Amino acid sequence: MKPRPEETGDITDVEEDAGAEQTEPWTYGRTLRAKTVTIGICIAAVLWPVAVAGVGVVVAIDASQDGPVMIEEEPASAAEQSLGSVAQNYVAAWLAADRQDTTDLDRYISTGDLRLPKTASDSRNLSAANVEAIGEGTYQVAVTAEVKTSKSWGPHTYQVVLRTVGGTSIDVLGLPREVAELEVSGKKLNGYSADVTAVDAVTDTVSGFLNAYLSGTGDLSRFTAPGAELKPISPAPHKKISLAYVVANREAPEKTADGEQIHVNARVKLQANKETTLTSDYQLTLTARAGRWEVSHLGPDEIIATAQSAR
Mean pLDDT of 105-122: 88
* pLDDT of 205 over the 90 cut: yes
The residue-averaged pLDDT of 215-242 equals: 92
- Say which DSSP state 208 is in: H
**Res. 286 pLDDT band, cuts 50 70 90:** very high
In this structure, whether the domain defined by 10-55+72-179 belongs to CATH 3.10.450.540 is answered with yes
Give the residue extent of every domain in the chain.
10-55+72-179, 194-306
Selection from 126, 45, 54, 121 nearest residue 89 by Cα = 126
pLDDT recorded at residue 213: 95
Q: Taking residues 129-150, report their average pLDDT.
A: 87
Rounded CA-CA distance 149/129 in Å is 22
Mark out the alpha helices in the chain (DSSP H runs).
Answer: 41-47, 78-96, 200-215, 302-306
Work out the average pLDDT over 285-307: 84
Q: Residues 176-200: pLDDT tens digits?
A: 988 876 554 444 566 777 889 999 9
Tell me the pLDDT tens digit for each residue of 68-88: 333 333 445 777 888 999 999
pTM: 0.45
What is each CA distance from 151 to 2, 54, 210, 277, in whole angstroms? Answer: 15, 34, 31, 17
- For residue 174, the model assigns a pLDDT of 87
Give the pLDDT confidence score for residue 19 in this predicted structure: 39
The SS3 call for residue 47 is helix
pLDDT value of residue 182: 59
Quick one: pLDDT at residue 186?
42
pLDDT over threshold 80, residue 256: yes
| Distances in whole angstroms, Cα of residue 81 to Cα of each of 40, 41, 261, 311 | 11, 8, 40, 20
pLDDT > 70 fraction of the chain, expressed in percent and rounded: 68
Q: For the chain, what is the mean pLDDT? A: 75
pLDDT digit string, tens, across residues 14-63: 333 433 333 333 333 233 445 655 544 433 333 333 333 333 333 333 44
CATH 3.40.50.300 applies to domain 194-306: no
CA of 229: how far to CAs of 66, 213, 240, 296, in Å? Answer: 15, 12, 24, 9
Nearest-5° Cα angle at 80, 77 to 81: 90
**Which one is predicted more confidently, 169 or 48?**
169
Q: How far apart are CA 202 and CA 264, in angstroms?
A: 9
In angstroms, the CA 91 to CA 54 distance is 19
pLDDT value of position 50: 34
- Let me know if the fold of 10-55+72-179 is the same as that of 194-306: yes
